[in-house]
Amino acid sequence: MRISVTGCGYLGAVHASAMAKLGHDVIGIDVDEPKIASLAQGEPPFFEPELPELLTASIASGRLRFTTDPAAAAEATVHFVAVGTPQTSDGNAADLSYVDAAIDALLPHIGDGHVVVGKSTVPVGTAAKLAERIHETGARLVWNPEFLREGYAVRDTVEPDRLVYGVEPGDDASVAVLDEVYAHALELGTPRMVTDFATSELVKVAANAFLATKISFINAMAEIAEATGADVTQLADAIGHDSRIGRRFLNAGVGFGGGCLPKDIRAFTARAEELGRGEAVAFLKEVDGINLRRRKRVVDLATAELGGSVVGRKVAVLGVTFKPHSDDVRDSPALDVAVALKGLGAAVVAVDPKGVANARVRHPQLDYAEDATDALRGADLVILVTEWPEYVGLDPVATRELVAGATVIDGRNALDRDAWVGAGWRYRGMGRS
């Protein structure tokens, strides 16, 4: 298939590279010139495991090119739209300006027999509106939500756990086109569901709302555990053995962040309110509230551990990204904690294997260490906020030699508590005594 992908960020760059690997002819389009220049040289402008190898191989095959020229879309007949839908600066709704701009740029270059495939996460009702404009060119629209996780994006794109096509009634032709695009995944037996536009749009936000709720549920239990002396990790293990509940996404800690979960639950709430159904998802405000309280909990714990004031005390913050195996610091709980402690007067030194460059752009006021040893040396307090394997695997005995005060706050309940306590550390977890 001849494919264009508009928007070459975390989603689009991986999608374009993966589609080329699967044998399609792909042109990646983005308005960001430095990003396109870097991708064209086989260098992803962000960190994503397996992407550099995939990108290089796809470019070498001659099936993947990148450009800033929207007219290049005319070479393709299937047009993926993978631009971002961030939170608006003045509210909770999703900012659709990048989606609108992408469609505006595509319209002059599409026509009969073309299929536009929306992958961006959008408020329910968006596809129906866009379809009217797309139909005027003779092309069709499919909404095909993306469920990839950063850190596993390549695997999730090549072998997704399900495919959802939102189509207009009777649009079998577009279904057949997408089946050809995704022939590899379908041959592997990937479940594929054909729905209407609204259902496909809702599948994505409902999935993310559910995951966010699951995390906030266990973090709410952590709050109760903290008041009672119970241990939330044992609680999660015990309820997780019930297969109806399941253990995944029940890790209590500093909560969820990133470019998807936080903004998606807020946009969902805003859209439901517009539809007069705000009550149906009012619980998502609680989910958001519980989540944000966990960041404050870490800051409060740090203050308490340092005797009521952090002023002038050296705090080593391990991790700035919203999760390991990513360089993404969007709405990162780790970075929020570092910034809050700095705001309270602590001498914060943050460190991260991949996220420092992005963090520095957003928060140049923080001090960043070259490596964990550098961050830990002379620290009065250590806080683990992103569970990178290199921090989880720190040797508590050797680490103790580096610090001034042997207290660790485990913001992800990821450290081996017994080993740290055994090495003479005072250990504070989340929702554990």
Q: How far apart are CA 263 and CA 241, in angstroms?
A: 31
Q: Is the dihedral of CA 399, 404, 407, 411 positive or negative?
A: negative
Stretch in the footprint of ligand UDX (CB under 6 A) among 51-59, 222-230, 248-256, 345-353: 248-256
| Interface with ligand UDX (CB under 6 A), residue from 211, 272, 287, 384 | 211
- The verdict on 150 binding ligand UDX (CB under 6 A) reads yes
Each residue 104-143 as x (binds ligand UDX by CB under 6 A) or -, in order, gives: ----------------------------------------
- The verdict on 290 binding ligand UDX (CB under 6 A) reads no
The 8 Å CB, 24+ separation contacts for 229-236 are: 229/433, 230/431, 230/433, 231/431, 231/432, 231/433, 232/413, 232/430, 232/431, 232/432, 233/413, 233/429, 233/431, 233/432, 235/431
User: Smallest distance from the beta carbon of 152 to ligand UDX, in angstroms?
Assistant: 8
Site size toward ligand UDX, by CB under 6 A: 20
- The verdict on 260 binding ligand UDX (CB under 6 A) reads yes
Which pair of structure tokens corresponds to residue 331?
């709405």
Stretch in the footprint of ligand UDX (CB under 6 A) among 186-194, 243-251, 267-275, 343-351: 243-251
User: Smallest distance from the beta carbon of 322 to ligand UDX, in angstroms?
Assistant: 4
Say how many residues make up the chain.
433
| Interface with ligand UDX (CB under 6 A), residue from 84, 118, 258, 411 | 258
- The verdict on 284 binding ligand UDX (CB under 6 A) reads no
In terms of CB distance, is 5 or 76 closer to ligand UDX?
Answer: 5
Would you please indicate which residues are annotated as catalytic (active-site) residues? 260
- The verdict on 305 binding ligand UDX (CB under 6 A) reads no
Stretch in the footprint of ligand UDX (CB under 6 A) among 17-25, 160-168, 252-260, 308-316: 252-260
- The verdict on 425 binding ligand UDX (CB under 6 A) reads no
- The verdict on 208 binding ligand UDX (CB under 6 A) reads yes
- The verdict on 255 binding ligand UDX (CB under 6 A) reads yes
User: Smallest distance from the beta carbon of 255 to ligand UDX, in angstroms?
Assistant: 5
- The verdict on 86 binding ligand UDX (CB under 6 A) reads no
Torsion of CA 407, 410, 415, 416, to 10 degrees: 60
- The verdict on 362 binding ligand UDX (CB under 6 A) reads no
Q: How far apart are CA 51 and CA 385, in angstroms?
A: 25
Question: Are the CB atoms for 29 and 5 separated by under 8 Å?
Answer: yes
| Interface with ligand UDX (CB under 6 A), residue from 133, 149, 285, 400 | 149
The 8 Å CB, 24+ separation contacts for 32-36 are: 32/8, 32/68, 33/68, 35/8, 35/9, 36/8, 36/66, 36/67, 36/68
- Angle, helices 97-106/126-135, rounded to nearest 10 degrees: 20
- Angle, helices 333-343/283-305, rounded to nearest 10 degrees: 50
Contacts for 209 with CB less than 8 Å, ≥ 6 apart: 264, 265, 268, 281, 284, 287
- The verdict on 147 binding ligand UDX (CB under 6 A) reads yes
Question: Are the CB atoms for 117 and 183 separated by under 8 Å?
Answer: no
In terms of CB distance, is 67 or 251 closer to ligand UDX?
Answer: 251
In terms of CB distance, is 148 or 351 closer to ligand UDX?
Answer: 148
User: Smallest distance from the beta carbon of 413 to ligand UDX, in angstroms?
Assistant: 10
User: Smallest distance from the beta carbon of 71 to ligand UDX, in angstroms?
Assistant: 30
> Residue 192, exposed/middle/buried by CB under 10 A (0-12, 13-18, 19+)?
middle
- Angle, helices 126-135/197-228, rounded to nearest 10 degrees: 160
Q: How far apart are CA 398 and CA 273, in angstroms?
A: 54
User: Smallest distance from the beta carbon of 161 to ligand UDX, in angstroms?
Assistant: 9
Stretch in the footprint of ligand UDX (CB under 6 A) among 39-47, 90-98, 145-153, 272-280: 145-153
| Interface with ligand UDX (CB under 6 A), residue from 182, 217, 256, 368 | 256
Helix/strand/coil for 28: strand
Instruction: Give the residue from 331, 336, 164 showing the smallest Cα distance to 258.
Output: 331
Q: Which residues sit at the interface with ligand UDX, rule CB under 6 A?
A: 146-150, 208, 211, 215, 249-251, 253, 255-258, 260-261, 322-323
